[in-house]
Amino acid sequence: MDLSVLLYLVFLAAFGAARLMELRISARNQKRLEARAVTRVPEPVFPYLAAFHAAVPVAAAFEVVFLRRPLLPALAMTMGILFLLAQALRWWAIRTLGEHWNVRVMASAGLGVVSGGPYRFARHPNYVAVFVEMAALPLIHTAWVTALASAPVHAFLLYRRIAVEQRVLLADPGYRATMGPKPLFVPRLHVPVSWLRRSGAPPDRKSA
């Protein structure tokens, strides 16, 4: 077995171990929230989402080993950087949410609306990070079949998950007032009027 393949398998194992650690954090937060009368929201898509997150690294490992995918340094470096950036964003979101963070949908907005950290810019930065990391993970070692097959499935599962979460969050007046005007995923670009004047473009009233 090539050294690059062995190192990739170790990396995938470390990724799985980190996910298990996150599940422990989530379980601890869930107990704390339930002790404060916060209820867990039923979400039929959760088992499929959990199975998907377990299946992607396994599928990537099988593809790399049995289909003998090569390590392409440029692709590996690019996807590795994307993966690390996604990890940084995700942990920023987790730390910002504190006890509100959970792998399950919890109706915790009544305990206070979190609007700091990455949530200053968008409502669901965590899901952006999760999608990017799961797309980059197989491509670090050129498991392109896994990456192409998993991306639309992941997008569909996240769409269903976010729909449930949005219904719960927007039912809270405080969340609706604070976070409702913000974009779901990508921060809006506000261009200063002075830049527009220098470029000769007419100023956009919304960006003023």
CATH number for the domain spanning 48: value is 1.20.120.1630
Domain assignment present for residue 90? The answer is: yes
Distance, in Å, from the CA atom of 58 to the CA atom of 70, rounded to the nearest integer, reads: 17
Distance, in Å, from the CA atom of 125 to the CA atom of 184, rounded to the nearest integer, reads: 8
Provide the domain limits for residue 8. 3-187
Secondary structure element (H or E) that encloses residue 180, with its range:
none
Domain assignment present for residue 135? The answer is: yes
What is the predicted pLDDT for the residue at 207? 41
What is the predicted pLDDT for the residue at 1? 75
Write phi, then psi, for 136 (nearest 5 degrees): -80, -30
Domain assignment present for residue 192? The answer is: no
Q: Name the domain count of the chain.
A: 1
Domain assignment present for residue 204? The answer is: no
What is the predicted pLDDT for the residue at 187? 86
**Joined tokens for residue 43:** 């979400």
What is the predicted pLDDT for the residue at 188? 75
Residues in contact with 119: Cβ distance below 8 Å, sequence separation at least 6, in sequence order: 93, 96, 97, 125, 179
Q: How many C-beta neighbours within 10 Å does residue 117 have? A: 15
Domain assignment present for residue 71? The answer is: yes
Domain assignment present for residue 208? The answer is: no
Distance, in Å, from the CA atom of 33 to the CA atom of 170, rounded to the nearest integer, reads: 19
The distance in angstroms from the start CA to the end CA of the chain is 59
What is the predicted pLDDT for the residue at 29? 96
**Residuewise pLDDT in 10s, the chain (208 residues):** 799 999 999 999 999 999 999 999 999 999 999 999 999 999 999 999 999 999 999 999 999 999 999 999 999 999 999 999 999 999 999 999 999 999 999 999 999 999 999 999 999 999 999 999 999 999 999 999 999 999 999 999 999 999 999 999 999 999 999 999 999 998 876 555 455 455 555 555 444 3
Write phi, then psi, for 156 (nearest 5 degrees): -65, -45
Domain assignment present for residue 142? The answer is: yes
